[in-house]
Chains A and B, each alone.
Chain A
Amino acid sequence: MWGHTFESQKCRTEGLTPLLWGHTFDSTKNPNQRPDPRSARHMHCVDLMRRLWAIAIAFTLACSKQDDSEKLRKSIDSWSATLQLVADARLKNEVRKGFALKTIEAAVDDLERQTAKTTDDRATRLIGVAAKLRQAVEADDRASIAKARGELVR
């Protein structure tokens, strides 16, 4: 069916008459023949795609990306505040021990992954305080949780 062209002519089939409009038929044409890739329409599409990609690349360059050290700095502030919130919630028994431990684990995991690319003393210190907080939560030692929370603020 595809790749053929048909002449405008009536076709009869057992009492029904499918009518083919606007096509010309040539049974000698190769049914698998592909359109000429150098046709004007094809080139127009290629040109359009090139322009769209140029816009995308220009947009990419216009939006500057944070560098790794800036990203780490924000991450340290974010996880420090997260651990403070979790410590406060644990002290008020608003979160389970398991959740507090998993959050501390996530913090340490994320910070260690980032410090593999960029070193930062604050990150190393925060990982250390997180370890203390983790021990305090595991031991259900409220005084130690409060102390570790205090260290997070500094």
Chain B
Amino acid sequence: MKAHYFLVRDLLDNQLVDRDKRNLGKIDGIALHVAQGKQTRVTHLESGALILARRLGPRWERIAAFMTRHFGVRKNPVFRVPWSKVTKTGIDIHIDIDGVKSDAFAWEHWLDDHLIGRLPLAHEHIKED
């Protein structure tokens, strides 16, 4: 891994990929720890509609907050990945996490359980696994 990063160019908006090469979303935000007189540190990579909406403006953030509060299925509306979990960087950012068990897949599971999975042929073997 590189020693130096341009946070916006190299990390922000890049693809998060789990240990089994599944897509977990984009890096929508980067959490920094800022302390007076000390080095600023990247602590987490963040993903989620709330973070995205914040980047568009306060009105969009309020709408996203309302939607996630009343209709969200994740335990936490923001999916946070500690920097320590990053294993490889590049165009994609690889993290040492099982995506299927993480909160990033909450909507996938919910849609599969309640809608998509109930339609005929959703689990059929015509296609790849």
- In their complex, do chains A and B touch, with some C-beta pair under 8 Å? yes
* CB closest residue in chain B, given A7: B40
Question: Cβ of B40 and Cβ of A16 under 8 Å apart?
Answer: no
Interface size class of A (residues with CB under 8 A): 10 to 19
A20 touching B40 in the complex, CB below 8 Å, given contacts A1-B12, A1-B32: yes
Question: Cβ of A13 and Cβ of B83 under 8 Å apart?
Answer: yes
* Binary CB contact string for chain A from 1 to 38 against chain B (1 if under 8 A, 0 otherwise): 11000100111111011111100010100001000000
Q: Which residues of chain A are near B12, meaning CB under 8 Å?
A: 1
* Interface assignment of B126: CB less than 8 Å from any CB of chain A: no
**A16-B39 Cα distance, complex, nearest whole Å:** 12
Q: Is the interface of B mostly helix, strand, loop or mixed?
A: mixed
Instruction: List residues 7-22 of chain B with CB under 8 A from any CB of chain A.
Output: 7, 11-12
**A110-B49 Cα distance, complex, nearest whole Å:** 48
* CB closest residue in chain B, given A34: B57
**A10-B7 Cα distance, complex, nearest whole Å:** 12
Among A12, A14, A18, A25, the residue within 8 A (CB) of B7 is A18
Question: Cβ of B32 and Cβ of A16 under 8 Å apart?
Answer: no
* Interface assignment of B4: CB less than 8 Å from any CB of chain A: yes
Question: Cβ of B4 and Cβ of A18 under 8 Å apart?
Answer: yes
A interface residues (Cβ-Cβ under 8 A, vs B): 1-2, 6, 9-14, 16-21, 25, 27, 32
B interface residues (Cβ-Cβ under 8 A, vs A): 1, 3-7, 11-12, 29-30, 32, 34, 36, 39-43, 54-55, 58, 83-84
Contacts A1-B55, A17-B3 given; 15 further ones with Cβ under 8 A? A1-B29, A9-B39, A11-B39, A11-B40, A11-B41, A11-B42, A12-B41, A16-B3, A17-B4, A18-B4, A18-B7, A20-B7, A21-B6, A25-B34, A27-B36
